[in-house]
Amino acid sequence: MSNSTVIRVEGLSKKYIIGHLRSEGYQTLRDSMAGALKNTGRRLLHPFRASSGQPLLGMPGTEEFWALKDVSFEVEKGDRIGIIGRNGAGKTTLLKLLSRITYPTEGRISIKGRVASLLEVGTGFHPELTGRENIFLNGAVLGMGRSEIKQKFDEIVEFAEVEKFIDTPVKRYSSGMYVRLAFSVAAHLEPEILLVDEVLAVGDAQFQRKCVDKMGDVGENGKTVLFVSHNMAAVKNLCNKVILLDDGVVLESGDPYTICDKYIFPEDIAATGTHSFRGGEDHTINFIRAETLNEKGEVTSAFRADEDIRFRITYSVEKDIWGSSLAINICNFDGTDLWATSDIDVFSTLFEQREKGMWIYECVAPGNVLRPGRYLVALGAGDVTGQYFHHPDPFPFEILEQGFWKGSHKSFGISGGPLVVPMRPEMPRRADTSEDD
């Protein structure tokens, strides 16, 4: 309750009504009228029963869902809070409530200072407009004034590295340029409180580093940051406090190292080599199934160290889309990304258009790269703005000691890092003698 409290959340709850019959969130008038009629009928038949209070929505086939339940916490000025938790734990809902995109069902949030939220980058970007025009538009959407944008314009362009293309419509940009420009605008916001969803998951590695640095700056300047992420390494790096959400409630909060380490993916995930993902979610791209196959084409979750690993991913595309990519991330068990591959890296036509239908995508990870141990595969499908269509929970596979490269220093164990890249050591020679000896 000290004076430096900038965000206070008290008993925050958010309820959603899910329709089982409709795939779309909105209703048609006919549904509503039918519902109202039914309610009136019910009221006539049972005049003394209390009405549901929601005559339009209280229809059969709907169900209440509490995305957040009685969440309370306080944030002090200058805190950098990481919000972690499994998919569907309520992280994004919490961020949406804090940024006033949606409103709570119960409870109260008090905020002191100017808030900027970054749930995706490039919100409001229009493909027909030029980079210059989009900077102004996007800036305004994020709450910057015109003079503020003008003042920072050169800095934004320079940070995004798109000087040459600033007067080209962004529909002609490559996905990298698009994302860099979009992030750059966001990075130059100067709010007192910054709310960030996993937008850092976009762009090339070098640019990501730049963004993490930029965000670190924000934290050090006495600004408050709330950061939702799956990336434990980034959370440990950036945050001084972590809130762990599970099923809409705060499971734990406190020191990032202790909590991130506790929140490792549970040991009991079935390791069968085939994983079906919960369907029925209305993403534009849905993952149906993922399999890991060995060199003989058998489905398995355990591989020899020198063996190629084939990932076979079945996904559905609901409509023809532009600008999407599908990524496979290999990570450590603590969630650190080791490497990632996107299908558009090689097949750029998929970026231009991904056609509707059911698809099978295969990708091979070479052997002799991973040290024996357990790893996770995280799949993600998204579009260039950093909006995730589907981001299922990761699944594990294992690299066995068998076939482990004989020349490597087995004795170092995992402390030698997760990768085994043959380095071709040469015999040491004396340094005190001259070259021509």
Partner 1 sequence: MEDQFDIIIEPDKGMTQYWKDLWRYRGLFYFLAWRDILVRYKQTVIGVAWSVIRPLLTMVVFTVIFGKLAKFPSEGVPYPILVFAAMLPWQMFSNALSESSDSLITNANMLTKVYFPRMVMPTSAVVVSLVDFLIAFCILCALMVWYKFLPGIRFLTLPFFLLLALMTALGCGFWLSALNVRYRDFRYIVPFIVQFGLYVSPVGFSSTVVPGKWRFLYSVNPMVGVIDGFRWAILGGDTRLYVPGFLLSIAVSLAIFWFGLLYFRKMEMTFADVV
151 is an interface residue for partner 1 by CB under 8 A: no
Q: Kindly tell me the burial class for residue 21, based on how many C-beta atoms sit within 10 Å of its own C-beta (0-12, 13-18, 19 or more).
A: exposed
Among 39, 62, 129, 388, binds partner 1 (CB under 8 A): 129
The smaller minimum CB distance to partner 1, of residues 98 and 218, is found at: 98
* Number of Cβ atoms within 10 Å of the Cβ of 364: 12
- 120 near partner 1, rule: CB under 8 A: yes
Indicate whether 119 belongs to the interface with partner 1 (CB under 8 A).
yes
Distance from C-alpha of 347 to C-alpha of 108, rounded to nearest angstrom: 48
- When asked if residue 124 is in the footprint of partner 1 (CB under 8 A), the reply is yes
Residue for token pair 């600004």: 223
* CA dihedral sign, ordered 186, 109, 192, 82: negative
E-only strand ranges, 51-192: 62-76, 80-84, 106-111, 115-118
Q: In this chain, which of 20, 46, 108, 278 binds partner 1, going by CB under 8 A?
A: 108
Q: Which of residues 143 and 254 has its CB atom nearest to partner 1 in the complex?
A: 143
Q: Which helix (H) or strand (E) holds 249?
A: strand 249-254
For partner 1, which stretch binds (CB under 8 A), given 107-115, 158-166, 352-360, 401-409? 107-115
Pick from 296, 323, 27: nearest CA to 171: 323
Strand partners, 326: 381
Rounded CA gap, 113 and 27, in Å? 37
String marking each residue 32-61 x if it binds partner 1 according to CB under 8 A: x-----------------------------
Residue 384's closest CA among 141, 169, 182? 182
166 binds partner 1 (CB under 8 A): no
Shortest CB 398 distance to partner 1, Å: 39
- Contact between 146 and partner 1 (CB under 8 A)? yes
Write down the least CB distance from residue 6 to partner 1, Å: 9
**Are the C-beta atoms of 131 and 396 separated by less than 8 Å?**
no
**CB closer to partner 1, 186 vs 313:** 186
Residue number with CB closer to partner 1 (25 or 61): 25
Number of residues that bind partner 1 (CB under 8 A): 50
Name residue 396's amino acid. P
Decide: is 200 part of the binding site for partner 1 (CB under 8 A). Answer: no
Q: Beta-carbon neighbour count of residue 317 at 10 Å?
A: 20
Q: Does residue 100 touch partner 1 according to CB under 8 A?
A: yes
Helix, coil or strand: residue 264: coil
Q: Is 22 in the site for partner 1 (CB under 8 A)?
A: no
Of 374-403, binders to partner 1 (CB under 8 A) are 387
Q: Which residues would be at the binding site for partner 1 (CB under 8 A)?
A: 1, 3, 8, 16, 25-30, 32, 96-115, 117, 119-120, 123-124, 126, 128-129, 133, 136-137, 140-146, 387
